[in-house]
């Protein structure tokens, strides 16, 4: 019985050592950073504006006699939109025209007498000045009469009416807004550091293409081009405004809409690692590097950009290093591991990424 008990204990001990040895030989996946050209995408909240957005205001006082358009209507350049009752201004024009006729006759008579040396040259000059004054007053009356008709200054879309037919208008009263939506200006604010990076990487003669993510989380069908950067930084926010121009042939975009601008910046020879290969300690990012003795060493890395599931690294590791890909919580510092190496292209291709 004693021999049998000893044999049982020896077998149990062997099994226990076998399980410990098996556990110590857990195979971890290891890969290396990959150097390649890629794109990073930066998002900015944006405001969408028409390339021309103006206020239509009454230029004369009077009753609004007629509205010839409707809210949201596409209006052609020169088309009549509003008319203020013109009776008073028509009367002023007729009066001014009569004055011109009278002054013309007076000037012609005076000139005839002056040619015969019957009247002094000064009288002819005064008659000529009187005619000029009457002509100027007629032109002014005609301008006032024209101001009773508000016509479209360009092709555009009429906005919301602020008055109705029969309203008594004073000079300068707001009638509506008018927008040219053939192209749209999209403004977005860029922090100073990103502005400096942009200026360092983009040549002044290169077109910078941006994309617009609309409020329905869908991309606008047309790309935009960054055409200008405003002159000054906002001292309160530290931002500077960029302006991108988008074609709008279908009229989908309207003045006052919002969206997100996506600016895609190319990176040459970027050092890429999977995000899941990192861990964080006190707001700093680390990876586990496997040394020549197959031991785990933690190392801090500096992240300069982020792509879905990928970090772009500037410092801390190099392309020839081997980093732990999975099982970061199962290892300890300086622990020796058994691993299987995964090619960097394979490791990245298994992630949900779109890098070029």
**Domain edges within the chain:** 26-38+268-349, 42-51+178-267, 64-153
Out of 160-169, 174-183, 194-203, 261-270, least confident range: 194-203
Could you give the percent of the chain with pLDDT greater than 70? 90
Determine the average pLDDT of the residues in 209-230. Answer: 92
- Read off the tokens for 157: 């879309």
| CB half-sphere exposure, 204, CA atoms < 13 A | 0
* 179: exposed, middle or buried (Cβ count in 10 Å: 0-12, 13-18, 19+): buried
**How many Å is the Cα radius of gyration of the chain?**
40
Distance of CA 134 to the CA centre of its chain: 54
Show the CA angle centred on residue 320, arms to residues 314 and 325, nearest 5°.
80
Say whether domain 26-38+268-349 belongs to CATH 2.40.420.20.
yes
- Read off the tokens for 93: 């024009």
pLDDT tens digits for range 77-105: 999 999 998 877 778 888 889 888 988 99
pLDDT at 53: 95
User: Cα torsion at 345, 295, 23, 274 (round to 10°)?
Assistant: -30
Residue 283 backbone zone (phi > 0: left; psi -120 to 50: alpha; other: beta): left
Determine the average pLDDT of the residues in 185-194. Answer: 91
Determine the average pLDDT of the residues in 172-183. Answer: 95
Say whether 42-51+178-267 and 26-38+268-349 share the same fold.
no
pLDDT of residue 20 exceeding 50, the answer is no
The pTM assigned to this predicted structure is: 0.67
Determine the average pLDDT of the residues in 181-208. Answer: 83
pLDDT of residue 208 exceeding 70, the answer is yes
pLDDT grade, residue 1 (50/70/90)? very low
Show the CA angle centred on residue 159, arms to residues 162 and 224, nearest 5°.
150
64-153 has which CATH code? 1.10.287.470
DSSP state of 25: T
Neighbouring-strand partners of residue 312 = 272, 305
Strand bridging mode 338-341 / 27-31: parallel
Whole-Å CA distances, 257 to 239, 240, 248: 21, 20, 13
Collapsed DSSP state (helix, strand, coil) of residue 336: strand
Residues with Cβ within 8 Å of 77's Cβ and at least 6 positions away in sequence, in order, are 152, 153, 154, 155
CB contact at 8 A, 355 and 272: yes
Does residue 332 or residue 23 have the better pLDDT? 332
pLDDT of residue 220 exceeding 90, the answer is yes
CB contact at 8 A, 274 and 33: no
- Read off the tokens for 187: 């403004």
pLDDT at 352: 59
Distance, in Å, from the CA atom of 212 to the CA atom of 244, rounded to the nearest integer, reads 10
State the CATH architecture for 42-51+178-267.
Answer: Beta Barrel (2.40)
CB contact at 8 A, 48 and 184: yes
Residue whose C-alpha is closest to residue 290's, from 332, 336, 234, 330? 336
pLDDT grade, residue 115 (50/70/90)? confident
pLDDT at 356: 41
Neighbouring-strand partners of residue 36 = 270
pLDDT tens digits for range 314-338: 899 999 999 999 888 888 999 999 9
pLDDT at 198: 77
Based on DSSP, count helices (H) and strands (E) in the chain, helices before strands: 5, 19
Buried b (16+ CB within 10 A) or exposed e, 61-79: ebebeebebeeeeebeeee
pLDDT tens digits for range 46-86: 999 999 999 999 988 889 999 999 999 999 999 999 999 88
Buried b (16+ CB within 10 A) or exposed e, 311-339: bbbeebbeeebbbbbeebeebeeeeebeb
CB contact at 8 A, 78 and 103: no
């Amino acid at each position: 019985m004693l021999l049998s008990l000893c044999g049982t204990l020896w077998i149990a001990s062997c099994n226990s050592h076998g399980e410990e040895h098996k556990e110590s030989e857990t195979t971890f996946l290891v890969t290396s950073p990959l150097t390649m050209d890629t794109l990073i995408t930066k998002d900015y909240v944006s405001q969408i504006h028409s390339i021309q957005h103006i206020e239509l205001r009454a230029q004369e006082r009077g009753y609004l006699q007629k509205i010839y358009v409707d809210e949201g209507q596409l209006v052609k350049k020169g088309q009549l939109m509003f008319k203020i009752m013109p009776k008073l201004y028509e009367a002023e024009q007729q009066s001014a025209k009569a004055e011109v006729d009278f002054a013309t006759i007076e000037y012609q008579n005076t000139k005839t007498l002056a040619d015969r040396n019957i009247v002094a040259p000064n009288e002819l000059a005064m008659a000529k000045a009187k005619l000029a004054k009457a002509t100027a007053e007629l032109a002014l009356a005609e301008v006032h009469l024209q101001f009773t008709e508000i016509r479209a200054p360009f092709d555009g879309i009429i906005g919301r009416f602020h008055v109705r037919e029969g309203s008594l208008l004073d000079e300068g009263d707001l009638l509506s807004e008018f927008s040219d939506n053939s192209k749209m200006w999209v403004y977005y604010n860029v922090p100073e550091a990103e502005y400096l990076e942009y200026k360092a990487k983009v040549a002044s003669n290169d077109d910078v293409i941006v994309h617009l993510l609309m409020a329905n989380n869908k991309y606008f069908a047309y790309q935009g081009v960054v055409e200008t950067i405003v002159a000054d930084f906002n001292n309160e926010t530290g931002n500077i405004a960029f302006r991108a121009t988008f074609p709008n042939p279908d009229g989908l975009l309207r003045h006052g809409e919002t969206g997100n601008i996506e600016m895609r910046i190319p990176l040459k020879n970027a050092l890429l690692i999977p995000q899941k290969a990192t861990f964080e300690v006190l707001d700093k990012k680390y990876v586990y590097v496997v040394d020549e003795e197959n031991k785990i060493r933690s190392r801090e890395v500096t992240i300069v950009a982020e792509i879905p599931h990928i970090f772009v690294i500037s410092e801390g590791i190099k392309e020839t290093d081997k980093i732990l890909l999975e099982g970061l919580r199962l290892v300890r510092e300086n622990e020796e591991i058994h691993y299987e190496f995964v090619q960097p292209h394979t490791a990245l291709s298994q992630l949900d990424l779109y890098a070029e």
